[in-house]
């Protein structure tokens, strides 16, 4: 919300510099996101003394300072035609020092051209020679300095300014015409200077979505009293009694707790005075005419959105009798064309304001176009072409009788309506956050008072008030012990009461239950954010902390009891997996988890079964390539490899993370944790020395898998497998007992084609992390470090090509028993000499006994057993 400081000052004295005010508001939960200085000097950022304070404020400032000696108020006594140009005029201007002739092309001065000496001089904002202002003819804000020039033969060195030139608004249609009572020759900054705070209104601070509300916070935070004039809400009692001029029927008080009407006869519709127009603009709204402006102004000021009806139209619709306003929920299939000329299908929960002839507006959100009533405050956001364009500015009638509505609506229902209709307005912004019903009457009275002031007319006495559901303003009880228990500060009863009273809580002390002293606090009747009971107590504690100052609360350490300590095998197991893979030289990555089925389908070779698991789809995706939650961590890693293959030859990535399976039965989708590893490119990094140019293949990956499983102390087996992602001859699955932990291999050539990889083979693994972590043993035994020397021996055997090496090693191990502690394959050899369809496998064996030094005879016996077994089971022959 945009809050001009000058408006705040109507209600509270501001005793501290603006940056300090900004800091205190921000610290108290009214975050000031930006300050726009209008003419006033910006806080110095370079001066060392100021810097620390500004740092603490941490707010973005902008604006144009008006030099006091160069930009002043002035009066124009005569507007004369330019001798050589129809679109220019010459103004006889007095700036408090002397008379000037100032040239301008402002269209809003044309009506005064050639009228001679004006009966009432025009008051303007005048920039003298050398003044720094914004260039009115360039888009955006471009600074320029006024220099003498000749325009169409006439000397010009100064300027009557538009709002754009002074940084007030984007308006460059004409020059500013100040109110008639403006002084002449004073610095403009003294007369109009302002600073506009842009305050972020959080849901619990809705009561401060208005000037009065912010002023109350300022008063409480700076320890000063508010000054609201006694007659602020007082309507002059001059006309006839309002009774009988209209009636109100509320069908559902839950949705419409209160409805108030006021009436002013024969108002004179015209533009608002400049001071009001300026405030509306600074607050982000566009001035229309005095009636519309008053409804907006009163809403901004006290927080109650108002709606002005043309009373004569309502009487006409009621067939000449006094109108009845009816509030009700929309009927099935009911439509209403709102002021933005959109025909809207209404939901059954939408509340309408109607008369006997039909619907008039969507309650609390926007008026209807069809009913031809006097459009007022409920326009859309300031920067759009609001519905005001279709409103009263087009009307020719210059006087009217205004029936002014102020009501209270159920905020949840307004919020639902706003969401269903996708329709925002200043009124809906406030009503959807909650406006206290007490404000309905105050808003109407304030609006009527301002209308009378600006538009004349006769005010009917009193208001018509239907108030079927009065909210109970909660009364809460609080003790200093509560404050200490929750906030960790010791405050006296007196200090607590002082804080609550600064926020206009009515407090009394309950002392009849000594030693307890209880403070009983009555919530002021404009707040809906204070509850009762335990929550109410928390609400009050928050208020005390805010006003006391979060920065004053001491930092303490937890003294409460520690909970029982527990291990978390899942998370710890995952951490071990990640750490082990990093140890094995892999780079961890973390990918976006939103993708598309098409992106993920690339990981499966064409013609193989597709992924038919149900996806968890995003109903409101942010981009067309992020519409589901992923099914495959492997695809995430492959995509990362794809992107990096443009910048790196060697890539070794892994990712551990969840995949998501929509579930028909479950409350939530299944979140399964997967590990994907992808390797591609040269085995070693590039360098200037001679090195192997081999690229990573299946066995590099297998080495990593073995390293991982050994690190986790899980016994596993590997056997050939097939999978749509992988090359059918270069794929293996990892088994622990009967359970498949994962699958790995070289990517299928048809899969490789679907990604944009560099030409090297790509090997990948897809592993079930949930299963893997569950298999990590709690503990494992250390193997004795042998005290006796081992015997090392090589053994080369020739077997048929089809016999897997794994089986050969298995047979050796089985035959050798515990004495052979290590079997390492060091050569695989094929040649004509060995024979076609044969291969030689050479192993290095370590013989080791734990209780003695082995003799040649011991070793020879075991060797014979191995050779015999290899021959019997695999037909293997010792290589000559």
Partner 1 sequence: MLADLDRIEQQALKALEATQDETSLEIWRVAYLGRSAPLMPIFDQLSKLSKEERPAIGKRANEVKRALETAYSARLEALRQSKLQQSLQSERLDVTLPGRSIPIGRLHPATISMRNVIRAFADMGFQVYRSPEAETDDYNFGLLNMPPNHPARDMYDTFYTSMPSVSLRPHTSPGQIHVMRQYAPEPIRAILPGMCYRYEQVSARHETQFYQIEVLAVGKNITLGDLKGTLGDLAHRLFGQNIRTRFRASYFPFTEPSAEFDFECLICGGKGCSVCSWSGWLEIGGCGMVHPTVLQNGGYDPEKFSGFAAGLGTERIMMLKHRIEDIRYFWANDMRFLEQF
Site for partner 1, residues 584 to 603, rule: CB under 8 A? 584-594
Residue among 429, 387, 427, 386 at smallest CA distance from 407? 427
Scan residues 86-145 and list those touching partner 1 (CB under 8 A).
Answer: none
Q: Answer yes or no whether residue 441 interacts with partner 1 by CB under 8 A.
A: no
Q: Answer yes or no whether residue 880 interacts with partner 1 by CB under 8 A.
A: no
* 8 A C-beta contact, residue 417 and residue 312: no
Nearer to partner 1, 67 or 217 (CB): 217
- CA 780-783-787 angle, to 5 degrees, is 165
Site string for partner 1, 199-218 (x = CB under 8 A): ---xxxxx------------
Q: Answer yes or no whether residue 538 interacts with partner 1 by CB under 8 A.
A: yes
Rounded Cα distance, 151 and 66, in Å: 25
Q: Which residues contact 741 (CB under 8 A, 6 or more apart)?
A: 714, 716, 734, 735, 767, 768, 771, 772, 775
Q: Answer yes or no whether residue 421 interacts with partner 1 by CB under 8 A.
A: no
* CA end-to-end distance (rounded Å), the chain: 92
Scan residues 163-202 and list those touching partner 1 (CB under 8 A).
Answer: 202
Q: Which residues contact 228 (CB under 8 A, 6 or more apart)?
A: 11, 212
CB of 664 to partner 1, least distance (A): 9
Site string for partner 1, 392-411 (x = CB under 8 A): -------------------x
Q: Answer yes or no whether residue 576 interacts with partner 1 by CB under 8 A.
A: no
**Piece of 162-170, 499-507, 616-624, 725-733 that binds partner 1 (CB under 8 A):** 616-624
Q: How far is CA 812 from the centre of its chain?
A: 65
Whether the upstream peptide bond of residue 837 has omega within 30° of 0, thus cis, is no
Rounded Cα distance, 625 and 639, in Å: 13
Scan residues 839-878 and list those touching partner 1 (CB under 8 A).
Answer: none
Q: Answer yes or no whether residue 612 interacts with partner 1 by CB under 8 A.
A: no
Scan residues 284-343 and list those touching partner 1 (CB under 8 A).
Answer: none
Q: Answer yes or no whether residue 431 interacts with partner 1 by CB under 8 A.
A: no
* 8 A C-beta contact, residue 107 and residue 95: no
Nearer to partner 1, 129 or 594 (CB): 594
Scan residues 684-723 and list those touching partner 1 (CB under 8 A).
Answer: 684-689
Q: How many residues bind partner 1 (CB under 8 A)?
A: 107
Classify 93 as helix, strand or coil: strand
Q: Which residues contact 300 (CB under 8 A, 6 or more apart)?
A: 210, 211, 279, 280, 283, 285
* Residue choice 229, 554, 607, 759 for contact with partner 1 (CB under 8 A): 554
Nearer to partner 1, 214 or 269 (CB): 214
Q: Is 779 exposed, middle or buried (0-12, 13-18, 19+ CB in 10 A)?
A: exposed
Q: Answer yes or no whether residue 796 interacts with partner 1 by CB under 8 A.
A: no
Helix (H) or strand (E) holding 295: helix 290-302
- Residue ranges of E strands in 761-819: 762-768, 791-800
Nearer to partner 1, 20 or 135 (CB): 20
* Residue choice 133, 178, 302, 545 for contact with partner 1 (CB under 8 A): 545
Scan residues 452-491 and list those touching partner 1 (CB under 8 A).
Answer: 484-489
Scan residues 3-62 and list those touching partner 1 (CB under 8 A).
Answer: 26-29, 31, 33, 45, 54-56, 58-60
Helix (H) or strand (E) holding 577: helix 569-583
Q: Which residues contact 276 (CB under 8 A, 6 or more apart)?
A: 287, 290, 293, 294, 297, 454
- Could you say which DSSP state residue 11 is in? T
Q: Answer yes or no whether residue 222 interacts with partner 1 by CB under 8 A.
A: no
CB of 706 to partner 1, least distance (A): 16
Q: Answer yes or no whether residue 676 interacts with partner 1 by CB under 8 A.
A: no
Rounded Cα distance, 469 and 409, in Å: 11
Q: Answer yes or no whether residue 541 interacts with partner 1 by CB under 8 A.
A: yes
Q: Which residues contact 197 (CB under 8 A, 6 or more apart)?
A: 2, 3, 5, 22, 25, 32, 34, 35, 214
CB of 28 to partner 1, least distance (A): 5
Nearer to partner 1, 56 or 80 (CB): 56
Nearer to partner 1, 640 or 795 (CB): 640
DSSP assignments along 323-362, one per residue:
-EEEEEEPPTT-EEEBTTS-EEEPPTT-EEEEETTEEEEE
CB of 32 to partner 1, least distance (A): 10
Nearer to partner 1, 56 or 854 (CB): 56
φ, ψ for residue 812 (rounded to 5)?
-60, -45
CB of 533 to partner 1, least distance (A): 8
CB of 539 to partner 1, least distance (A): 7
Residue among 235, 738, 246 at smallest CA distance from 459? 235
Nearer to partner 1, 596 or 844 (CB): 596
CB of 523 to partner 1, least distance (A): 15
CB of 242 to partner 1, least distance (A): 34
* Residue choice 238, 372, 508, 671 for contact with partner 1 (CB under 8 A): 671
Site string for partner 1, 621-660 (x = CB under 8 A): xx---x--x----------x--xx--xx-xxxx----x-x
Q: Answer yes or no whether residue 565 interacts with partner 1 by CB under 8 A.
A: yes
């Amino acid at each position: 919300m945009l809050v001009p400081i000058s408006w705040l000052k109507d209600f509270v004295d501001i005793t501290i510099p603006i940056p300090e005010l900004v800091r205190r508001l921000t610290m108290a939960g009214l975050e000031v996101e930006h300050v726009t200085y209008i003419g006033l000097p910006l806080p110095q950022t370079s001066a060392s003394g100021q810097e620390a304070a500004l740092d603490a404020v941490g707010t973005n400032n902008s604006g144009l300072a008006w030099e006091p000696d160069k930009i002043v108020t002035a009066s124009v006594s005569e507007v004369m035609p330019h001798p050589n140009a129809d679109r220019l005029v010459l103004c006889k201007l007095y700036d408090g020092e002397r008379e000037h002739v100032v040239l301008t092309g402002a269209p809003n001065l044309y009506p005064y051209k050639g009228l001679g000496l004006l009966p009432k001089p025009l008051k303007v904002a005048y920039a003298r020679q050398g003044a720094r202002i914004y260039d009115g003819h360039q888009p955006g804000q471009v600074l320029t300095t006024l220099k003498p020039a000749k325009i169409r033969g006439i000397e010009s060195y100064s300027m009557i300014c538009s709002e754009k030139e002074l940084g007030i608004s984007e308006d460059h249609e004409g020059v500013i015409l100040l109110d008639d009572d403006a002084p002449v020759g004073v610095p403009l900054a003294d007369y109009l200077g302002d600073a506009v705070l842009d305050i972020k209104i959080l849901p619990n601070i809705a009561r401060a979505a208005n000037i009065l509300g912010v002023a109350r916070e300022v008063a409480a935070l700076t320890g000063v009293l508010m000054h609201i004039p006694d007659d602020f809400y007082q309507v002059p009692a001059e006309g006839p009694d309002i009774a009988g001029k209209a009636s109100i029927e509320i069908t559902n008080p839950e949705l419409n707790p209160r409805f108030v009407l006021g009436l002013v006869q024969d108002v004179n519709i015209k533009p608002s005075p400049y001071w009001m127009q300026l405030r509306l603009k600074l607050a982000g709204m566009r001035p229309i005419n005095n009636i519309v402006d008053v409804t907006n102004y009163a809403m901004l000021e006290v927080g109650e959105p108002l709606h002005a009806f043309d009373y004569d139209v309502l009487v006409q619709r009621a067939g000449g009798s006094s109108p009845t306003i009816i509030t009700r929920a929309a009927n099935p299939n009911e439509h209403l064309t709102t002021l933005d000329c959109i025909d809207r299908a209404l939901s059954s929960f939408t509340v309408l304001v109607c008369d006997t002839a039909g619907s008039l507006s969507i309650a609390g959100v926007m008026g209807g176009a069809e009913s031809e009533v006097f459009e007022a405050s409920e326009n859309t956001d300031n920067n759009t072409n609001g519905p005001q364009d279709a409103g009263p500015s087009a009307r020719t009638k210059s006087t009217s009788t205004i029936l002014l509505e102020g009501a209270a609506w159920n905020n949840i229902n307004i919020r639902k309506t706003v969401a269903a209709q996708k329709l925002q307005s200043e009124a809906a912004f406030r009503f959807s956050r909650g406006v206290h019903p007490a404000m309905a009457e105050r808003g109407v009275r304030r609006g009527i008072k301002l209308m009378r002031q600006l538009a004349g007319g006769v005010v009917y006495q009193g208001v018509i008030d239907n108030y079927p559901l009065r909210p109970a303003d909660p009364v809460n009880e609080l003790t200093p012990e509560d404050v200490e228990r929750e906030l960790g500060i010791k405050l006296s009863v007196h200090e607590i009461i002082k804080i609550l009273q600064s926020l206009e809580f009515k407090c009394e002390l309950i002392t009849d239950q000594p030693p307890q002293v209880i403070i009983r606090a009555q919530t002021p009747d404009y707040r809906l954010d204070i509850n009762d009971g335990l929550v109410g107590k928390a609400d009050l504690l928050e208020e005390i902390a805010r006003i006391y100052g979060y920065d004053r609360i001491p930092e303490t350490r937890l003294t409460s009891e520690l909970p029982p300590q527990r291990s978390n095998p899942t998370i710890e197991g995952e951490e071990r997996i990640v750490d082990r893979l990093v140890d094995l030289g892999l780079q961890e990555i973390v990918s976006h988890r939103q993708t598309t089925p098409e992106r993920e389908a690339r990981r499966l070779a064409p013609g193989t079964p597709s992924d038919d698991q149900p996806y968890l789809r995003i109903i409101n995706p942010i981009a067309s390539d992020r519409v589901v939650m992923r099914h495959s961590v492997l695809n995430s890693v492959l995509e990362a490899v794809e992107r990096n293959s443009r910048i790196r030859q060697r890539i070794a990535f892994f990712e551990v993370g969840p995949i998501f399976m929509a579930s028909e039965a479950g409350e939530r989708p299944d979140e399964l944790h997967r590990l994907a590893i992808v390797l591609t490119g040269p085995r070693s990094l590039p360098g200037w020395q001679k090195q192997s140019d081999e690229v990573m293949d299946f066995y590099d990956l297998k080495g990593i898998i073995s390293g991982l499983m050994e690190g986790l102390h899980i016994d596993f087996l590997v056997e050939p497998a097939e999978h749509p992602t992988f090359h059918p001859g270069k794929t293996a699955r990892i088994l622990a007992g009967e359970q498949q932990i994962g699958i790995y291999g070289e990517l299928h050539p048809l899969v490789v084609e679907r990604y944009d990889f560099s030409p090297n083979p790509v090997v990948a693994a897809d592993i079930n992390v949930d299963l893997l972590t569950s298999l990590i043993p709690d503990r494992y035994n250390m193997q004795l470090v042998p005290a006796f020397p081992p015997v090392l021996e090589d053994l080369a055997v020739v077997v048929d090509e089809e016999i897997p090496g794994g089986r050969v090693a298995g047979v050796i191990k089985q035959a050798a028993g515990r004495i052979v502690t290590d079997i390492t394959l060091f050569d695989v050899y094929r040649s004509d000499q060995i024979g076609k369809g044969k291969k030689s496998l050479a192993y290095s064996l370590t013989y080791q006994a734990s209780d003695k030094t082995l003799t040649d005879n011991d070793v020879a016996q075991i060797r014979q057993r191995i050779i015999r077994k290899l021959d019997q089971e695999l037909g293997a022959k010792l290589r000559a």
